Amino acid sequence: METYSFKAENPDVKHLESDAFPEQCAGFRGSIMLVGPLIARFGKATIAKPGGDKIGRRRLDTHFTGIQKLGARFSYEERREAYNISADKLTGTYILLDEASVTGTANLIMAAVLAKGTTTIYNAACEPYVQQLCKMLNRMGANIQGIASN
């Protein structure tokens, strides 16, 4: 097995506040997955309403509600058509998902691993993708229990 190490010191996140950033992330659905890690690491995130494929109902409520329960605040800026998310700190909590969303679960896990205290997610998705994410985060120092359960 190969081992890789990465270290990022003082990354420049000013681009997140530019008018170009929401326009760039509007074109793909995966932009919502930036919110959890950005809010956990930097205390703020800005994304446009995610675009991408139209394969049916794909709500953002699971992401937004869960991240709000961790302590984040959301606002919508009409001029830029972007969501601004901020948090002074994230605090562990109990989260009951209204749907077992794979991306919602993953996003909340990535935010919660840096929150103070314990977070328990009920009705979490437990697909292999989520399990692998949890195992990777544990190898990076997280303490995630109940992997493969919901």
Q: Which residues are the active-site residues?
A: 53
Q: What is the DSSP string of the chain?
A: ---------S---GGGGSSHHHHHHTT-GGGGGGHHHHHHHHSEEEEEPP-S---S---SHHHHHHHHHTT-EEEEETTTTEEEEE-S--B--EEE-SS--HHHHHHHHHHHTTSBS--EEET----HHHHHHHHHHHHTT-----TT--
Expressed in angstroms, the distance from the first to the final Cα of the chain is: 30
